[in-house]
Structure 1
Amino acid sequence: MLFLGLLLLLALLAGARLLWGWWLLRNLHLPPLAPGFLHLLQPNLPIYLLGLTQKLGPIYRLRLGLQDVVVLNSKRTIEEAMVRKWVDFAGRPHILSYKLVSQHYPDLSVGDYSLLWKAHKKLTRSALLLGMRNLMEPLVERLTQEFCERMRAQAGAPVAIQKEFSLLTCSIICHLTFGDKVKEDTTVRVFHNCVRDLMKTWDHWSIQLLDIVPFLRFFPNPGLWRLKQIVKNRDHIVEKQLRQHKDSLVAGQWRDMTDYMLQEVEHLRVAEGPGQLLEGHVHMALVDLFIGGTDTTAITLSWAVAFLLHHPEIQRRLQEEIDLELGPSVSGSQVSYKDRARLPLLNATIAEVLRLRPAVPLALPHRTMQLSSILGYDIPKGMVVIPNLQGAHLDETVWEQPHEFRPDRFLEPGKSPRALAFGCGARVCLGEPLARLELFVVLARLLQAFTLLPPAGSLPSLQPQPYCGITLNMQPFQVRLQPRGMGALRLGQCQ
């Protein structure tokens, strides 16, 4: 009886909250409301949300649990909110899972907008672009070269390429953040396993349900317990690295991003006094780099491979372009990233993959900091706003034949707008420069060294997993990497 009474009380409180919310909004001109409550149960949610625009237009509201959210489904509405009115839309919603993954200090990705958040962002961006300015590209080249050598050892055998890409991108982040003393078989795999466990648990329905109906956290939930344990383990691993770096710091020198950020925080503490950035902000910056820079880039690389398996003619054209500029061997010359215009088709292919399959198709939700408007509709303060990036990339009023894989659309000057795969405005992904560098270098080297072939003629699915969480995961597939040049001849003689 006590349990039933508690449920009834919670239901009454939820109903009262909804009625109070409707009363407060009664005089506003709100976007149209989509009927129903079970939208999150729809497979391929970004495409479902895009389909609602046929009746409701590019901006509308949905009910998710106890809360209304606004969904933006076009490039125009997303840019109006996130670029032209970025101050109004720069917040993050205060939801349970965000608090769990950033327990001690506000996180960059899910932290709310504030002056301290801006300082945190500046610190991380400086470490990435200034601290690693002369080291980033050589590091990515070296680790990609080693990756291709490992793949050459498996030549002709089916490879689960997404797992290999994920280990590669995690290794790049490890070396950028913790330096060249990283032990591949220990540190990288420890961080890789931790990130994969965290994302899998965070995406689980039991955690997503808590974000929609927060009072359910008072009931037994194995997923919630597991998420707390993973976060505890994550923090223990990061704290160990921070201790090791502090014990070996040399003033005025830095070996990696961690050294850079620790010294910057100390400098700011001495110069500006308390109330500024602390070591915990370095901790969460490192967490963000691993979560945001491992599987997202690996997923994009995997989608690129899948599309090229379906379009061998584009793969052939890419190899011709790369051979002309770099030579036909992985040990040949390299194109500096600043000279990437020498490989226009490769750039166009990357842009098309990012357009069709953005790794985070619904971005991360925003929250309005004050009353605002989009396309003439009022958007109240505190409203959760979801940018449907994939929906915007498939807008027929912007893109010709939007569902078709056509890299050549980006070779026509002025014909195709820039996609929004990394977001835009104040909340644009901080790791975009690194991700674009990785996509360019890895795909150039991979296609220079190998021809991508489906195992036993079985092409991978180009449809994402039906029920995705934060990332647009693809269905598992394998690829055969056939060495080109003399390696290909030797392989053919052995078969």
Structure 2
Amino acid sequence: MWDLGLITSESWLDGWLGPSAIKSRVRVLHKCPAMVLPGLWLLLLLLLAGTRWLWGQWKFWNLHLPPLAPGFLHFLQPNLPIYLLGLTRKLGPVYRIRMGLQDVVVLNSNSTIKEALIKKWVDFAGRPTVPYEKLDLDLSRGDYSSTWRTHKKLSRSALMVGMRGSTEPIVEQLTQEFCKRMRAQAGAPVDIHQEFSFLTCSIICYLTFGDKDDTLVHTVHSCVQDLMQAWSHWSIQILDIIPFLRFLPNPGLWKLKRFRENRDRIVKQQLKLHQDSRVAGQWRDMIDYMLQGMEQLSEGHGAGELHEGHVHMSVVDLFIGGTETTATTLSWTVAFLLHHPEIQKRLQEELDLRLGPSGGSSQILYKNRAQLPLLMATIAEVLRLRPVVPLALPHRTTRASSISGYDIPKDTIIIPNIQGANLDETVWELPTQFWPDRFLEPGKSPRTLSFGCGARVCLGEPLAQLELFVILAHLLQAFTLLPPPDGTLPSLKPQNYSGVNLLIHPFQVRLQPRNLAPQDQGQSPLTG
């Protein structure tokens, strides 16, 4: 019999299961003969699992917890967000699943996610700790604190204030250059996702570094691609399920470390260039703005002081969170329009009516987006059906709380199923159908949760929405989207879910330039 009294002390448990304790056991095991190691490893794993399980049972004995889904291999499902939504039929919208040695709570509906992240946002604003990573400077994965709030305020201000008046002209200019490149290909099949990926990376480079030099953009783009592929590899994903495997040799983890070092080298070079050349009281781009804001905010903040490392990680988050996510949403939009040419035709009619013929000099202004309601509805519908981050990054409860009447203890990991909420049958009519018109009736359709909500809402949502609007308006005004000569339509089924993003299968599209009859060249109602 286990003596449960021995494991009711958290300090004792940390001493036995903490990272330093595990490392010391690993050092001892490395000295053992090779034939003995497998058996000792298995014994250690069973002992750790059993101790952790008993501790969990004792700790939550008298609580009214959400129901527990049977099984241990949920996170190996190929279409995880939809699988998790399917479990609601038996368990309801709030339940627990086992992830390695711990239980996590999954939220699968609009109401439960909003209850946790908006109504009780303070209780659910934390992030889980990752033993093998230092995340205190990371804006997206860092834990909730006064320093994190200051860091987020500075980054948001850089996007919304520092680049005010500059962002839209930059997006407009780079999108026009993109369309010019596409016209040069004369309707030949292109890998549209790669084109979108390079375009969105160029936009972030220009906004952040004040530079859209092709060499720099290619360097940053390759770095982002390498990181995304490394993060999505099974050898990295399994560490979230079985954390202590990170103490074993792992080539995937070594590769990820090299890519991170390359990423940090690029960012440090840009920070040094900006530090050496910036002028007090002036800023050319977001790095200049954040460096100056850092110095102002850090004065007198004590424990909340910001330093250059925070600016460094803000830049990292902008590239990782603002390149592939927007490019993937653009690609999903093209895929859906290839399957629904009638929607594409209506969009082009709307653009022609409001903006005049393709190839005109009219600038598409985001402030007038309400005059292109079908375009905005189409963007909202694609974001609803294919949220790029279908499972929001895990949250952690900062104190004991509740959801839908269930007790949620402190330090519980919470996973909001954004795609599940966007397919909630109690909220959306015909939830799996591509139907942009659902957003054309005022007050009929709620806002999607594709960018999250509450304290952890996506920082780059305003930029992403602007990019989607400007790029798609230019694209559809200038081109008709056609399948390749063999008529193959892209798959609307996502790739097997791994990592963070909901990826689309590679496909090709022909961008056929439109030849519209000359019309009145008077000023468009959507121009300045």
Normalising by the smaller structure, the TM-score range is: over 0.9
- Tell me the CA shift for residue 272 of structure 1: 4.4
How many residues were matched structurally?
A: 482
Residue 76 of structure 1 aligns with an amino acid whose one-letter code is S
Change (3 A) 1:378 1:271: closer
| Match status 1:63 vs 2:92 | no
SS of the residue corresponding to residue 449 of structure 2 reads: coil
Would the aligned equivalents of 1:145 and 1:330 in 2 still touch at CA under 8 Å? no
Query: Residues of 2 paired with 1:321 and 1:161: CA distance?
Result: 23
Pair member with larger Rg: 2
| Match status 1:141 vs 2:172 | yes
Change (3 A) 1:256 1:222: same
Return the match for 2:449 from 417, 420, 426: 420
Residue 280 of structure 1 aligns with an amino acid whose one-letter code is G
SS of the residue corresponding to residue 455 of structure 1 reads: coil
Residue number in structure 1 paired with 2:107: 72
SS of the residue corresponding to residue 386 of structure 1 reads: strand
Return the match for 1:35 from 66, 70, 78: 70
Query: Residues of 2 paired with 1:301 and 1:405: CA distance?
Result: 15
Change (3 A) 1:479 1:128: same
- Tell me the CA shift for residue 399 of structure 1: 0.6
| Superposition map of 1:299-338 within 5 A | 299-338=328-367
Change (3 A) 1:327 1:31: same
Give the TM-score normalised by the residue count of structure 2.
0.89
Return the match for 1:483 from 513, 523, 527: 513
Residue 321 of structure 1 aligns with an amino acid whose one-letter code is E
| Match status 1:459 vs 2:470 | no
| Match status 1:23 vs 2:58 | yes
Residue 227 of structure 1 aligns with an amino acid whose one-letter code is L
| Match status 1:161 vs 2:172 | no
Give the TM-score normalised by the residue count of structure 1.
0.95
SS of the residue corresponding to residue 498 of structure 2 reads: coil
Gaps of 5+ in 1: 488-495
Residue number in structure 2 paired with 1:279: 308
| Match status 1:178 vs 2:209 | yes
| Match status 1:357 vs 2:386 | yes
Return the match for 1:253 from 260, 275, 282: 282
Residue number in structure 1 paired with 2:440: 411
Query: Residues of 2 paired with 1:297 and 1:275: CA distance?
Result: 32
Would the aligned equivalents of 2:108 and 2:417 in 1 still touch at CA under 8 Å? yes
Gaps of 5+ in 2: 1-35, 518-528
Would the aligned equivalents of 1:293 and 1:431 in 2 still touch at CA under 8 Å? yes
Change (3 A) 1:274 1:213: closer
Residue number in structure 1 paired with 2:148: 117
Change (3 A) 1:272 1:38: closer
Query: Residues of 2 paired with 1:221 and 1:399: CA distance?
Result: 44
SS of the residue corresponding to residue 218 of structure 2 reads: helix
- Tell me the CA shift for residue 332 of structure 1: 3.5
Residue number in structure 2 paired with 1:387: 416
Return the match for 1:14 from 36, 46, 49: 49
Return the match for 1:436 from 465, 472, 494: 465
Return the match for 1:472 from 479, 498, 502: 502
Q: Percent same amino acid at aligned positions?
A: 71
Would the aligned equivalents of 1:322 and 1:343 in 2 still touch at CA under 8 Å? yes
Query: Residues of 1 paired with 2:506 and 2:451: CA distance?
Result: 24
- Structure 1 residues 222-250: Cα deviation after superposition (integer angstroms, max 9, x where no partner): 01111111111111110000000000010
Query: Residues of 1 paired with 2:359 and 2:388: CA distance?
Result: 27
SS of the residue corresponding to residue 429 of structure 1 reads: coil
SS of the residue corresponding to residue 399 of structure 1 reads: coil
Query: Residues of 1 paired with 2:359 and 2:277: CA distance?
Result: 37
- Tell me the CA shift for residue 208 of structure 1: 1.3
Change (3 A) 1:373 1:272: closer
| Match status 1:237 vs 2:266 | yes
Residue 173 of structure 1 aligns with an amino acid whose one-letter code is I
Residue 212 of structure 2 aligns with an amino acid whose one-letter code is V
SS of the residue corresponding to residue 481 of structure 2 reads: strand
SS of the residue corresponding to residue 512 of structure 2 reads: strand
Query: Residues of 2 paired with 1:117 and 1:274: CA distance?
Result: 11
SS of the residue corresponding to residue 143 of structure 2 reads: coil
Residue 374 of structure 1 aligns with an amino acid whose one-letter code is I
Query: Residues of 2 paired with 1:82 and 1:270: CA distance?
Result: 31
Instruction: Indicate the larger mover: 383-392 or 467-476.
Output: 467-476
